[in-house]
Structure 1
Amino acid sequence: MRAFPLLLLLAALTGCAGCEEADPTGLSGAVRVDGSSTVFPLSEAVAEEFMRDHPGVRVTVGASGTGGGFAKFARGETDASNASRAVEPDEAARLDAAGIPFVEVPVAYDGIAVVAHPETDWVDCLTLAELRAIWEPDSRVDSWADVRPGFPDVPVVLYGPGTDSGTYDYFTAAVNGEEGASRTDYTASENDNTLVQGVAGDAGALAYFGLAYVEENADRLKVLGVDSGSGCVRPSAETVQSGTYAPLARVEFVYVNAARADANPALDAYVRFFLASAAPLAREVGAVPLSDAGYRLAAERYAARTTGSAFAGRIGARVDAVLRSAPDPAAP
């Protein structure tokens, strides 16, 4: 009479070795995702919630940068690729050559925040022209005194994303007018937490990275406003969503292998779940949700398996406007 309770105890102690938790939907399999470190917190949160509902599916999320993620995506190593900028023409060409049709799925907004050491008390806002002078190729800015008359002669110690980062690509295009145009004498990392640590520990430091990491470390950084010609605007959920934090408000994406989404029900369910749950989870991790209409249009684009990019080359794009103007996939 005691054998059955004993078996239950053994199963509990061993974690029910050899058995799997039942998924009422019957979903099973694996989904592999990599790419942007900026999109990573949202993607990881979605994956955790999805696996809680679907214990038979294993979702793995990596963060090798937008460029590194697209390289893995083109090699067929991943099912979806997170990106903090739109796919570039050469990346799209590699995907086409590899026979990988992709659906571009916008999932949130983000702002690229410009931050300084927390004790930097001489500056609250930088103009776009000053940012360009600091970050342009062959910049002669070595000291804060070189940035603006009246600033102290304190060395500017720069931190920023590496060249595989979508944040690097977007910032250089928005500020310097050409993607990849940047001075190179700065401490670069694809890990935004490394950049936070650098700025927090270096007097005179200046950096740029995703707004989500700023909000997680608000007590260790000073967030600067940016004046692009219409007055100083600080990055926030409101200014990013409205687009008034120009030109450093941007769209975050998940690029999905359309053929695999058709063949793998777990991947298809994951993408649909992502769009359905992104808004509240985005707020939790410091990203900025799209509008309700934006998520509806993105879901329609994904359901129709509309391949190719609608956002390539657009700075400061608003999801609703872009997707409403995109060609109707059902049109003859």
Structure 2
Amino acid sequence: MRNIRVVFAVLSLSVVLVAGVADELQAQEKRQGWIKRLRYRRELRRELQGEIQLSGAFALYPMAVKWAEEFRKIHPKVRIDISAGGAGKGITDALAKVVDLGMVSRDIYPQELEKGAFPIAVVKDAVVPTINSNNPLIDQILATGLKQQVAQDLWIHTTARTWGDVLGTGSTIPVHVYTRSDACGAAETFAAWLGAKQEDLEGTAVFGDPGVTSVVQRDKVGIGFNNIAYAYDINSKKPYRHIAVIPLDLNGNGKIDPEEDFYATSTELNAAIAEGKYPSPPARNLFLVSNGKPMKPEVLAFLEFILTDGQQYAPEVGYIGLSSDILEEELFKLQE
């Protein structure tokens, strides 16, 4: 009797496993069918015209501009207007239907989803701590890195007031801390890494990613945080002039180990993010958000382009393309 029960149990488990595999295969076939249909639809939309308006996150602005340029090579009669003003502006404009798509560089809040926010993940990047490359202690800072606790002492508790406090030395050189004045994904994401929210961040408030880059470039003892696109030059892939990116001391041992040292170029950093070596947050997906599912043909075509052919431009501009699984999920959301 026991043998019969064992055989029955094994057969039942096999049926469950086979059913699970069959369900997954059906789901994959359904997604692939949508993608084939999508490609066919794109061929029919060669003569698109109209206007697409985007606003929002500085983090997504350079990538959105590149996508717009490439999309208009296919659809020259479509006009695309893009303005940067922070993720807060992007989500507000999208929900108010002031723009077709809001650029948002943070997770979408439940209350925003309740108001009709329809987010599509489009690419990935990260926020990094930045300092002036002419800091008198630059070599020691880069060798020591930044611990999460020290970052909390800088931006949350305000107990780290000198570079000696940051490095654990006797240096009395003051540290000037900068944060963002605008509601933005960079600050929200950086704060999330510290277990806080943007409104908890202390420091001199500066508007926009370019603003933080500029003020740190001028302040030899300053420290801020930036999206990758505003810390690294798009052409050289190296940090901008007078900017250095502080490595994160992920294991907290007071030094940057070889496996933590991947900040020399944006290419190295992006590879580390893709491999999961850089924590998330401050790494995160970036979104284009509409009020409800987009209905305008030109907007749908633009999003479909971004999730297919447009992904090839992500590394060129300094971003990380999404995995094939995520891309399929986002495309499927547009087709449901």
Q: Which category describes the TM-score, using the shorter chain as reference length?
A: 0.7 to 0.9
CA distance in 2, matches of 1:148, 1:57: 53
Within the candidate set 146, 165, 169, 1:150 is matched to 169
1:82 matched to 2:110? The reply is: no
1:104 matched to 2:119? The reply is: yes
CA distance in 2, matches of 1:35, 1:65: 5
Superposed CA offset, 1:178-204 (max 9, x none): 2225343313212x2221121111111
Q: Secondary structure at the match of 1:152?
A: coil
Q: Is the 8 A contact 1:173 1:181 kept in 2?
A: no
Q: Is the 8 A contact 1:213 1:286 kept in 2?
A: no
CA distance in 2, matches of 1:242, 1:44: 26
Q: Is the 8 A contact 1:162 1:168 kept in 2?
A: no
Superposition pairs for residues 123-272 of structure 1, below 5 Å?
Answer: 123-124=141-142, 125-136=145-156, 138-150=157-169, 152-175=171-194, 177-190=195-208, 192-216=209-233, 217-229=239-251, 232=256, 233=260, 234=262, 236-247=269-280, 248-259=282-293, 261-262=294-295, 264-272=296-304
Point out the structure with max Rg over C-alpha. Answer: 2
What's the CA shift for 1:24? 7.9
- Cα gap change, 1:151 to 1:204, in 2 (>3 Å): farther
Corresponding residue of 2:130: 115
Q: Is the 8 A contact 1:102 1:255 kept in 2?
A: yes
Corresponding residue of 2:33: none
Superposed CA offset, 1:34-76 (max 9, x none): 1110011101111111122111111111111111111111211
CA distance in 2, matches of 1:160, 1:52: 38
Corresponding residue of 1:9: none
What's the CA shift for 1:127? 0.6
Could you say which structure has the higher helix fraction? 2
Corresponding residue of 1:316: none
Within the candidate set 266, 274, 291, 2:306 is matched to 274
CA distance in 1, matches of 2:230, 2:321: 16
Q: What is the identity, as a one-letter code, of the residue corresponding to 1:40?
A: Y
CA distance in 1, matches of 2:318, 2:119: 22
CA distance in 2, matches of 1:24, 1:222: 45
Q: Which piece of structure 1 moves more, 207-216 or 277-286?
A: 277-286
Q: Which runs of 4+ in 1 moved over 4 A?
A: none
Unaligned runs of 5+ in 1: 1-22, 305-332
TM score, norm. by length of structure 1: 0.76
Q: Which piece of structure 1 moves more, 114-123 or 178-187?
A: 178-187
What's the CA shift for 1:103? 2.9
Corresponding residue of 1:62: 83
Q: Secondary structure at the match of 2:220?
A: coil
Corresponding residue of 2:27: none
Within the candidate set 59, 78, 84, 1:38 is matched to 59
TM score, norm. by length of structure 2: 0.75
Q: Secondary structure at the match of 2:183?
A: coil
Q: Is the 8 A contact 1:85 1:169 kept in 2?
A: yes
What's the CA shift for 1:168? 0.8
Q: Secondary structure at the match of 1:227?
A: coil
CA-atom RMSD, angstroms?
2.1
Corresponding residue of 1:16: none
Q: Is the 8 A contact 1:27 1:266 kept in 2?
A: yes
Superposed CA offset, 1:241-285 (max 9, x none): 1222114211111113444x22x1111111111111332221121
